[in-house]
Structure 1
Amino acid sequence: MKNRIYVILLISLVTLGCSEQKKETSSCNGLIDSVKIIDKKTNDKKTYHLVHRVRGLQDKTEIIEIYDHSPTFDFCGNSQIEPIAENSIDSRDFHNKPQFIKEVVFNTSKNSMIFYYVSKKPNNSDDKKVSLILK
């Protein structure tokens, strides 16, 4: 009888834990973005945060975002604040050869960015070692 109570209690706890995780995942509409702050720079007392986002399951889209406040991300990869600039990364050049982003030049007065690519993968694969340059 005692073992039966333990089994019922264990099943209840496992079911409750799975339903909580299911709630978090269902609020993401099945998609969870991978996000990471990869660089930050300060200019005129304002700090800009460079974020690398990977969206999608099989056909992944890589996106660079810039925030003018420190972003925090929830379980789904969403932030409470909107980026001031964002753009997707082109993983192939005009000749369909692989290319890798090296620098992001951000114009703070126009909230626009330009990517500079290299054809060789950097030795350090830590988020492509992208650096933020402010202008």
Structure 2
Amino acid sequence: MRPENIDVTGLPPRPSPDHSDCRAVASVLARVGDKWSVFVIMMLIDGPKRFNELKRMINGISQRMLTLTLRGLERDGLVTRTVFPTIPPRVDYELTDLGRGLAEPVKALGQWAFTHLPEIEGARNDFDTRNAE
């Protein structure tokens, strides 16, 4: 018997995931790991925001990319879009319960990146210097 087949936990064996499970998880991770999705989720942690408010808050995002990102997050059940019947119509975007569950890990990831940015930039510079030849 090969060592990787020995169960040391005493738990019943889990079936290995098939390729369709991996593809499904990959599609979710692609959505929630996308840089614009991360920024949108972080901006919505404090409550609902209007489209133009989000656009102003997220430096560098185009109107089209914000539209696509919000649509994808809405499709995945992470954001709700509420239209208010005013003139002009007012549209608010807000995290769903599912989105709020994702907000804390996203916030932690953002904080980690911010905290370690100097180390990462230093490592990049070192790498670039070593590989410049």
TM superposition score normalised by structure 1: 0.24
TM superposition score normalised by structure 2: 0.24
Greater percentage in helix: 2
